[in-house]
Amino acid sequence: MGLAIEIARRPRSEWADAIARVRPQCPHSDCTGGIGCQQRIREYLQLQWRMLARREAGKGGGR
């Protein structure tokens, strides 16, 4: 998750490009992350991006 933290510390205006550069294939031959650790990081960051955008737009989406 070090990569996710590194991207999250950047200005949000740089997130989209940084997320797009995360390769979906896992570079580890012994990865136990199921779908692959890189893809998991990518999906996590995409979710965080959407949540922040909604919060800033005032669409909390609460129940």
Number of domains comprising the chain:
1
Contact by Cβ (8 Å): 21, 41: no
Q: Would 25 be classed as within a structural domain?
A: yes
Q: Would 41 be classed as within a structural domain?
A: yes
Is residue 6 packed enough to be buried (19+ CB in 10 Å), middle (13-18) or exposed (0-12)?
exposed
Domain that holds residue 46: 2-57
Can you give the pLDDT of all 63 residues of the chain as single tens digits? Answer: 577 788 888 888 888 888 888 776 666 677 666 666 777 778 888 888 888 888 888 865 555
Give the pTM: 0.57
